[in-house]
Every structure is written in structure tokens, then in C-alpha cells.
Amino acid sequence: MFLGTGTSHGVPMIGCDCDVCRSEDPRDKRTRSSIVIVLDDGTSILIDTTPDLRAQALAHRLRRVDAVFYTHSHADHLTGLDELRRFNALRGGPIPVYADDPTLADVRRLFSYAFDPLTPRGGGVPALRLWTIGGPFCLGRQEVVPVPIFHGRRTILGFRLGRLAYLTDCSAVPDSSFRLLEGLDVLVLDALRRRPHPTHLTVDDAIALSRRIGASRTFFTHIAHDLGHVETSAGLPDGVALAYDGLALDIAH
């Protein structure tokens, strides 16, 4: 399920009176980008902890998080980490967190209190077990394949689980990663707006990239207020759609 499909500002954007920000279509209300994947055995994987995590969990009845994957450590993907305290209580223990080394370094720095034994525990701190992603790994019976992508000049991670791949905050895919994206049923891909941006794909860029990857279905996420859902959807090719907050997909294993 898509918990959020918006940019770092969210939609509506503070202080904006554009048509999309004033839209009454619920698909134009976009919290910061995140997704939860529930495996066949019930394991619930959260990708990124946005500053909207509490509101997303309440809106979409998210009650279980068994693992967290981080794409990167920008604020709109990381700063809801403290909300994991509630999922610790629901889970009854620590939550494993998987990310690359630069992201884990930022987690330790920005949330140092959670790892400091001198921090008073009375108010609760997130209980986390940090794991460095160095290549494909297994979570239970599910193989997880990290997919390196470019976010401007920075290399971040997308993730492939079975026939699903999630590539948010993407400006390009290196040639070496295309082999990791063969045979997909569902591709989730960044598509910020129509105008060029230094660290994100445009709609046209994303359409071209989706054609090259060749997934059966592609859903765009990390969408700015430039793109109204109805108007933009009308111009997309077959097999390509805008995602929206709350959209749930059933993907065969």
C-alpha cells in the first residue's frame, strides 16, 4: 500500500493556492512518499519513515511494522523515525532497520539519543537493530535485492522484492542496475513534474524509463503539486498510472 506519494513539501503545499493544492480530489492530497509491503507470511515492511508517518498509520490502519528499509536519509524519508516507538510496543521488541552505510551514519547522528545508553528510558526511545545493506539479502523467505539508483549526484537505493520494484527519488538508473529490474510485474517510479529537475525524473523521463524497464504496470510516485491526478492520468500511456495515498496493490508472488 502507498502510504504517501508526495514530494518533500507534500501536497497541498504550505501557502499555495494553485488548482492542485485547492483540489477536492482526495488523490491530489499527497503526504510524503512511503510504501508498506506485506509479504505472503504477513511480514510487514515499511520503506522510509516520513515526517507524516503517524498520520499515515492512522489514516491507513497500519498496525504492524516488522522491518524498515531506507532508500536514503533526506528529511522527508527519515525524520518520522521516532514514531517507530509505537510499533516497538505493538511488535513487542526491536525493529530491524536496513540501509546503506551513509544512511545508517545519518540515523545514528540525527537520532543519537536512541543509541545512547545514558538517555532516560522513561519516555521511550525507538528500539532498533541496524543492518548494513551490502547486497541482496533474505527477510524470512523473501529475497530483497537493493537497486542502486541516482538521486542527482548521490547514489541511493531502490528495492526489488519478487516482481515488484520501488524506485523513489530517482533521477537516473545506472546501466548496471537494469539487469536487476528485468521481469517485473509492478514498477514504482519517481515522476516529480513536467519541468526538468536536477534530482528527480520528469513525467516524460519516467515514461521513457518505464518503457526501457518493461514492467507490466508502472505507478508514479513522489509527485509534486504541478500534476493534477485526473489531468495527468489522462495523458499517460497504457500500463502507466499515478499512484495516490492509500492505493493498495495485490501482486502475485
Question: Does residue 252 surpass a pLDDT of 80?
Answer: no
pLDDT of residue 253: 59
| AA letter at 196 | P
Question: Does residue 183 surpass a pLDDT of 70?
Answer: yes
Question: Does residue 11 surpass a pLDDT of 80?
Answer: yes
Phi, psi angles (nearest 5°) of residue 204: -65, -40
Would you place residue 124 in the very low, low, confident or very high pLDDT band (cuts 50, 70, 90)?
Answer: confident
Residues 48 and 221: beta-carbon distance below 8 Å: no
Question: Does residue 119 surpass a pLDDT of 90?
Answer: no
Q: pTM value?
A: 0.96
CATH 3.90.950.10 fits 2-116+125-135+142-242, yes or no: no
pLDDT of residue 51: 98
pLDDT of residue 120: 81
- Can you tell me the distance from the alpha carbon of 69 to that of 128, in angstroms, rounded to the nearest whole number? 12
- Can you tell me the distance from the alpha carbon of 36 to that of 44, in angstroms, rounded to the nearest whole number? 7
Taking only the tens place, the pLDDT of each residue in 162-176 is 999 999 999 999 999
Among 60-74, 87-101, 120-134, 173-187, the least confident range: 120-134
Taking only the tens place, the pLDDT of each residue in 201-223 is 999 999 999 999 999 999 999 99
Would you state the cell numbers that stand for residue 9, as one nine-digit string? Answer: 513539501
Question: Does residue 45 surpass a pLDDT of 70?
Answer: yes
In percent, the amount of the chain with pLDDT more than 90 equals: 95
In percent, the amount of the chain with pLDDT more than 70 equals: 99
Would you state the cell numbers that stand for residue 114, as one nine-digit string? Answer: 536512541
Distance from chain centroid for Cα 56: 13
Q: Where are the domains of the chain?
A: 2-116+125-135+142-242
